[in-house]
Structure 1
Amino acid sequence: MRGLTWDHPRGYAPLDELTRLDQAGRNPYGEVPEPIEWDRQPLEGFESEPIAKLCETYDVLVIDHPGLGAATDALVPMEELLEPDEMSGPRFVGRTCESYRLDGRQWALPLDAATQVAAARPGVMVPGTWPEVAEFARGTRMALCLGGPHAFLMFCALCSGDFLDPAEGARALELMAELLALADPEVSLRNPIGVLDALAAGGPEFCPLVYGYLTYPLSFSDAPAWPGRVPGSVLGGTGLAVSRRRIGAVRDAVRAHLRRLVSEPVQTKLFPASGGQPAARAAWASATTVSTMEAAWIRPRFPGYITLQDRSSALIREGLLARVPARDLLGDLHKEWRRQ
């Protein structure tokens, strides 16, 4: 069988570890009828490559939930492979299970859980509210995360998903402009991996909102909140989906892989030990960012959303760099969405 994941240790290391045998020649996490040969794609492909196109080549795919709307005809719903209790939302942290549910069917199982949180070098005292972040940024080296789709995702987090509301949208863009003027201009245009690499290498000390990767030697904490509100964040992570391309020939093997990958021993032991970021609720019980994870917003999943997300992010990023007034930039963004 062929599988596709993303090209970062968090995406492939746990899958590689599952292929290793103990001294007795057995897999300690259970045997499967047929192994998966995992290929890798870069983060940018994971965020934007059409899932349906990838299903022409792969049997099992690690996917991002916003791409589901245009892909369901190419996927096997989990109801055809697993029992209801194996797809139970309470098994998984936050709304991760819900993010892969569309039109009454479960199209993937949560494999990896993530959302935007605050990241800082150890010892840096992270502010808890956005007004405090704006003040804190005046006295510390800071970066934002605006590369790829992440300018739009930061904007959505600041609006708690209600980005079409004029007051919420304007406030968010005004804050982003204020923070960008105080931030490292080069690092701020990177994707999450690039931003975290810079923080870990001794560059900026703090990023108030970036997708957390627990493999980095950094301190992660709940995302900042507007006063009186819960932390605003946009759900990320990955799901495990199955292609229809030859399901009749690999159904039993695929079912065995799904069950093993989301099993509690794999999620709570193998994933953390090998640099993964599990989706099982049991693995998040003591996490410092669980409040943000529980409150995270699920992005739209309609056909065409990925392209619209990319266009919106470029519009915001270019507008911020050109210092377009927040109201004008918001008007341009609303026009983009009305064309959808």
Structure 2
Amino acid sequence: MRGLTWDHPRGYAPLDELTRLDLAGANPYGDVPEPIEWDRQPLEGFESEPIAKLCRTYDVMVIDHPGLGAATGALVPMEELFTAEELAGLRFAGRSYESYHLDGRQWALPLDAATQVAAARPGVVVPGSWPGVVEAARSGRMALCLGGPHAFLMFCAVTCGDFLDEEAGERALELMAGLLALADPALSLRNPIGVLDAMAAGEVDFCPLLYGYVTYPLTFSDAPAWPGRKPGSVLGGTGLVVSRRRIGEICDAVRAHLLRLTSEPVQGTLFPATGGQPAARSVWTGGPGRRAPGATVGPPAFYRDTLATMEAAWIRPRFPGYIALQERSSALIREGLLAATPARDLLKTLHEEWRTP
């Protein structure tokens, strides 16, 4: 069987370890009819490579939910692989499971859970409100995360998903412009991995909003919120989809792999041990069956301190063409912020982009 995942250790290390154990003989996490040989693509491949095209080559893929809308014709819905009781027994963090539900069908099982949160060097506290972040940025070394799609995703988070609302949109762009003026300009144009690498190297003290990675030796906390509101954040993470190309031949093997990958032992033990970031809700809440022997009660700080944000995270649109629109919108916002375009004018341009067929 052939599989495709992303080329960060968080995306491939747990999967490669399972394959290694399969090839070595009896796998302590459970046997499968045949192993999966995993290929890797860059993180940006989630946006650039259509899922339907990849389905011609791969049996199982790790994907991001916004690409679902253009791909469902090439995928096997989970209802064709599992019973209603099996699906009902699965529990995932936040709205991860819901993010792969489209047109009345479940198209993927969550593998990895993530959302935008605040990150800082140990000992640095990121304020919990956006006005507080502005004040902290005046005296601290801050970076934003505006590379690739992340300028638009930050905009969506700051508007709490109401990105077409004029008042919310203008306020968000004004905030982003003010923060960028106080931030490290070069680091702020990186993607989350680039910003986190710089932070771990001591080049910057904090970033108020970016996708969290549990493996970094940094402090993560809930995303900032507007006073009186829940944290604004855009759901990320990845899910497992199944191609229709050979499903008649490999249905039993696919079932075995997906059940094992979402199982308690794999999500709660193998994933943390190999640098993964599990989607299972129990990992995030510290539920039973997830702690290693001798571990303290409760989830690790990364999960505990960002759970509220995960629970409140907004699900992006998944209609065909959304990913390209997300990319164009992000470029518009990033270029507008760098050019100091007035928020009202920038928002008007953005809204025109969304009204264009």
Q: TM-score, normalised by structure 2?
A: 0.93
1:312-323 residue pairs with structure 2 within 5 A? 312-323=329-340
Paired residue type of 1:306: I
* Corresponding position of 1:276: 276
Percent identity, aligned pairs only?
Answer: 80
| Secondary structure in structure 1 of the residue aligned to 2:184 | coil
| Contact 1:115 1:293 (C-alpha < 8 Å) held by counterparts | yes
TM-aligned CA deviation for residue 89 of structure 1: 7.8
| Contact 2:46 2:67 (C-alpha < 8 Å) held by counterparts | no
Distance 1:46 1:270 in 2: 24
Distance 1:48 1:305 in 2: 12
* Corresponding position of 2:113: 113
Distance 2:55 2:229 in 1: 41
Comparing 44-53 and 147-156, the one that deviates more: 44-53
Q: Deviations over 1:69-114 (max 9, x none)?
A: 0000000000000122332386111100000000000000000000
Distance 2:242 2:319 in 1: 19
Off by >2 Å, runs of 4+ in structure 1: 19-22, 85-90
1:174-193 residue pairs with structure 2 within 5 A? 174-193=174-193
| Secondary structure in structure 2 of the residue aligned to 1:124 | coil
Paired residue type of 1:124: V
| Contact 1:19 1:27 (C-alpha < 8 Å) held by counterparts | no
Q: Deviations over 1:230-269 (max 9, x none)?
A: 0000000000000011111111111100000000111111
| Secondary structure in structure 2 of the residue aligned to 1:3 | strand
* Corresponding position of 1:332: 349
Distance 2:48 2:79 in 1: 26
| Secondary structure in structure 1 of the residue aligned to 2:207 | strand
Distance 1:89 1:113 in 2: 18
* Corresponding position of 1:156: 156
1:126-275 residue pairs with structure 2 within 5 A? 126-275=126-275
Distance 1:141 1:317 in 2: 20
| Secondary structure in structure 1 of the residue aligned to 2:240 | strand
Q: Deviations over 1:150-182 (max 9, x none)?
A: 000000000010011100000000000000011
Distance 1:85 1:187 in 2: 47
Comparing 78-87 and 192-201, the one that deviates more: 78-87
Paired residue type of 1:310: E
**2:307 pairs with 290, 294, 299, which one?**
290
Paired residue type of 1:292: T
1:88-127 residue pairs with structure 2 within 5 A? 88=88, 91-127=91-127
TM-aligned CA deviation for residue 47 of structure 1: 3.2
| Contact 1:145 1:207 (C-alpha < 8 Å) held by counterparts | yes
| Secondary structure in structure 1 of the residue aligned to 2:21 | coil
Distance 1:54 1:319 in 2: 34
* Corresponding position of 1:64: 64
**2:317 pairs with 300, 322, 325, which one?**
300
| Secondary structure in structure 2 of the residue aligned to 1:306 | helix
TM-aligned CA deviation for residue 16 of structure 1: 1.1
| Secondary structure in structure 1 of the residue aligned to 2:20 | coil
| Contact 2:209 2:223 (C-alpha < 8 Å) held by counterparts | yes
Distance 1:326 1:21 in 2: 54
Q: Deviations over 1:288-332 (max 9, x none)?
A: 100000000000000000000000000000000000000000000
Q: Aligned in 2, Cα 1:225/1:102: closer, same or farther, shift over 3 Å?
A: same
> Structure 2: which 5+ runs fail to align?
286-298
* Corresponding position of 1:7: 7
CA RMSD of aligned residues (A): 1.3
